[in-house]
A and B are shown apart, each in its own frame.
Chain A
């Protein structure tokens, strides 16, 4: 067998064999890197794509902290049953500003990619405090402390700055006003609230998510985040679902 003959010769030459090992190992790297060459084609254009507000970003961090991703995915696959249950399948652009992405692969609970504005804030609050108060069959653990914990506000600007480092287009004004915007988003009719829609767009939810205007709790942040899931862009709803 000639291929084994080649190997027989190759392993007897130190330099030749080293080069061969490098070539073989770099194939593994290439397979991971090469798909990124087509990233422009993979990530669909979505001019209406919004960034997370500081409050939503804080909620996202709490979502990660509490390990929600271990039981909830955020990725609707291109399968008929998923599309019929959850809505349009997820597009790459929808996770454009997710660092890290939270697609997940395990669904003990349902997928959350399109949960934004599906249920009321009150429902989310009641459900997070004790899931079985609203869904008798639920096996989700309670997260009552979200209501008791005040949200850590001081480092929000730094979080935004870090996100900008990895490509999220936060403006200087957004970074400078991060704390104010987080308070404003959870306190409708306050002075801070007007700046939120100015900097993040009219479509931004400005509500007392936890039902208590004035205090910014971790509950505010998590509910604000859940209510924006799947709603940063309408691109997925515009993608043609018809076969050609």
Chain B
């Protein structure tokens, strides 16, 4: 084994290795490195004692601070609820008209409502409530089930054709696919429905026949005047708002295939406060849009 000797120039020992007359210094580890090494050791030791760390076979050491991430999140949610209580309680207690009349409160409702709407409703109804094919433009279109605040809140709660036990149910039959009507009748009634809201160039005889088909098959839900019925969610066919397309082709397709649009119920996902905020937000959105 080679033996180190003291280097005359630096004062350090050498390792004793020698290559062609070159000797290797055995300088000590710099103090700063040792310091940080020791500091991390001490930090780790403290962390083990204070925080959950070591498995002990069936459980683990909980740490003196007793910190549990699940408790932490529960506390911060509770704290947020307490912070919100200042205005949330007013929303919970007040009836819709009272909340709507409170300008400062509505400012908060609008802010919270926008977030809730964006997270839950916007994927179908659009960020601005503009809707899309198959999804009503709730910021503008006439209500299918009624526009009273309580009615809107109920629609949000139970949904339409949803899994909720109290869900609103609305089914338009597939008059073509299920062979309820023959193709000539379908074409005529489509032309008639189209003529209710558009300038139609269809022959008068077609419209007359179409009207007869309409009266025999459609009035039960859409009403004698074709203005729709809110208790079954049947839309008004005489206005300019269409869920599935307003052109002749779109109307034909709807009559042929039937429609049963679905809106999930939100009772299990959103609290009653959140649903009330959404209702208020939606009514407010319509007011500013119209």
How many of chain B's residues touch chain A, expressed as a range? Answer: 35 or more
Report if A89-B73 is in contact (Cβ < 8 Å); known contacts: A34-B55, A133-B132, A134-B135: yes
Interface residue count on the A side (C-beta < 8 Å): 37
Residue of A nearest to B37 (CB): A3
With an 8 A cutoff between CB atoms, is B80 at the interface?
yes
Within 8 A of A (CB), among B45-59: 54-55, 57-59
Q: A38 on the interface (CB 8 Å rule)? A: yes
Contact B135 A83 (CB under 8 A): no
Q: Which of B74, B135, B263 has the most CB of A within 10 A?
A: B74
Q: Inside 8 A of A83's CB, which chain B residues have their CB?
A: 73, 77
B59–A120 CB distance below 8 A = no
Complex CA gap A78/B77 in Å reads: 10
Within 8 A of B (CB), among A24-39: 34-35, 37-38
Q: Enumerate chain B residues within 8 angstroms of A123, measured Cβ to Cβ.
A: 123-124, 135
Q: Which of A35, A85, A121, A243 contacts B262 (CB 8 A)?
A: A121
Interface: B72 (CB within 8 A)? yes
Residue pair A243, B269 in contact (C-beta under 8 Å)? no
A173 proximity list for chain B (CB < 8 A) = none
- Contact across chains for A84 and B60 when beta carbons are under 8 A apart: no
Q: Which residues of A contact B126 (CB under 8 A)?
A: 136
Cβ-defined contact, B75 with A243, below 8 A: yes
Verify A12–B1 contact, CB threshold 8 A. Answer: yes
- B85 located at the interface, meaning its Cβ lies under 8 Å from any Cβ of chain A in the complex: no
Contact with B along A1-37 (1 / 0, CB 8 A): 1001000000010000000000000000000001101
Q: Indicate with 1 or 0, residue by residue over B56-87, a CB within 8 angstroms of chain A CB atoms.
A: 01111000000001111111111010000000
B75 touches A85 (CB 8 A): no
A244 and B59 form a contact (CB under 8 A): no
Q: Tell me whether A78 and B263 are in contact (CB under 8 A).
A: no
- Interface residues of chain B, those whose CB is within 8 Å of chain A, are 1, 28-29, 34, 54-55, 57-60, 69-78, 80, 119-120, 122-124, 126-127, 132-135, 163, 261-264, 269
**19 A–B contacts, CB within 8 A, in A order:** A37-B55, A41-B60, A78-B72, A80-B77, A83-B77, A87-B269, A89-B70, A122-B134, A122-B261, A122-B262, A126-B134, A134-B124, A134-B132, A136-B126, A136-B127, A241-B73, A241-B74, A241-B77, A243-B75
Besides A4-B28, A117-B163, A121-B262, 8 more A-B contacts (Cβ < 8 Å) are A4-B29, A84-B77, A84-B80, A87-B269, A89-B70, A120-B261, A120-B263, A122-B262
